């Protein structure tokens, strides 16, 4: 009986020693886990929910780029029409000199004065933009002026030549109407209201000049040219 009690007591001591040996490990592991999850004040940190990063939008950048490109195109077209108007101040006097109809000569002289004003208006637009007035050769206008010169050289003096001058002149007006119409639209899109109004004045005068040439042609010149012998 005594042996049995001693044996039991021996086993209990071994179990107790084993418990003491393992307990620090358990406590240590628990302490380590607490350190990992504690924020220092005893509370457990909760991981913040991940939020999706907003996609970057290039809308404003694209808008600025498009506006910049449109402004560049606007200025290029302005240089083009500036060259054209200055070239016409030299070409129209030659048309006046070759015209035989008094009505045609008067219409051309009136439009020459307008053309000189058109040059000044384009220079005013450049000034508003803070740019130096610069001309870029307009190949289209150069071709129209060259064609007008060829017509005057090929046609005999009289109604036939007058009809040819009107034809060439109206081609010039149609080109200018298209150019100023585009410039006005660009100016409106760019928010350049003052410039749009300035160029709009010129656009109206170009349309009026075209109509005047049609009136002169229809009044007598075309009819007279039709009866002239080659």
CB atoms inside a 10 Å sphere around CB 67: 13
Predicted local distance difference test score (pLDDT) of residue 173: 98
Q: How far, CA to CA in Å, does 202 sit from each of 50, 82, 93, 119, 136?
A: 62, 12, 20, 10, 19
pLDDT of residue 64: 52
Query: How high is the pLDDT of residue 68?
Result: 83
Greatest alpha-carbon pair distance for the chain in Å reads 159
Distance CA 220, CA 40 (A): 104
Q: Which of 11-20, 112-121, 148-157, 163-172 has the lowest mean pLDDT?
A: 11-20
Least confident range of 2-6, 66-70, 205-209: 2-6
Segment 192-212 shows an average pLDDT of 98
Question: When comparing pLDDT for 53 and 110, which is higher?
Answer: 110
Whether residues 34 and 130 share a domain: the answer is no
Does residue 57 belong to any structural domain of this protein? no
Report d(CA 209, CA 32) in Å as an integer: 95
Contacts of residue 19, Cβ cutoff 8 Å, sequence gap at least 6: none
Higher-pLDDT residue of 189, 18 = 189
Asked if residue 20 is part of any domain, the answer here is: yes
Looking at the domain assignment, is residue 162 inside a domain? yes
Place of tokens 């003491």: 20
Q: Are 219 and 121 in contact (CB under 8 A)?
A: no
64: helix, strand or coil = helix
- Between 224 and 139, whose confidence is greater? 139
Q: Would residue 184 count as lying in a domain?
A: yes
Place of tokens 């012998």: 229
Q: Examine the domain organization and report whether 18 and 126 are in the same domain.
A: no
β partners of residue 44: 38
Mean pLDDT in residue range 15-33: 45
Mean pLDDT for all residues in the chain: 80
Shared domain for 17 and 71, answered yes or no, is no
Residue 54 within any structural domain of the chain: no
pLDDT digits 0-9 by tens, 137-193: 999 999 999 999 999 999 989 989 999 999 999 999 999 999 999 999 999 999 999
Number of structural domains, the chain? 2
């Amino acid at each position: 009986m005594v042996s049995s009690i001693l044996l039991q007591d021996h086993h209990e001591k071994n179990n107790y020693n084993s418990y003491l040996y393992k307990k620090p490990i358990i406590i240590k592991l628990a302490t380590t886990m607490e350190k990992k999850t504690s924020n220092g004040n005893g509370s457990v940190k909760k991981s913040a929910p991940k939020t999706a990063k907003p996609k970057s939008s290039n809308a404003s950048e694209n808008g600025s780029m498009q506006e910049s490109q449109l402004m560049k195109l606007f200025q290029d077209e302005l240089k083009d029409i500036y060259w054209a108007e200055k070239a016409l101040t030299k070409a129209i006097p030659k048309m006046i000199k070759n015209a035989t109809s008094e009505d045609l000569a008067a219409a051309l002289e009136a439009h020459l004065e307008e053309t000189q004003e058109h040059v000044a208006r384009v220079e005013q637009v450049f000034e508003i933009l803070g740019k130096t007035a610069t001309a870029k050769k307009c190949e289209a206008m150069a071709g129209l002026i060259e064609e007008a010169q060829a017509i005057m050289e090929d046609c005999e003096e009289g109604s036939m030549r007058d009809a040819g001058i009107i034809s060439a002149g109206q081609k010039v007006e149609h080109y200018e109407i298209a150019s100023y119409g585009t410039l006005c639209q660009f100016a409106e899109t760019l928010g350049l209201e003052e410039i749009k109004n300035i160029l709009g004045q010129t656009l109206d005068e170009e349309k009026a000049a075209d109509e005047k040439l049609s009136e002169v042609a229809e009044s007598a010149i075309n009819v007279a040219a039709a009866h002239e012998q080659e």
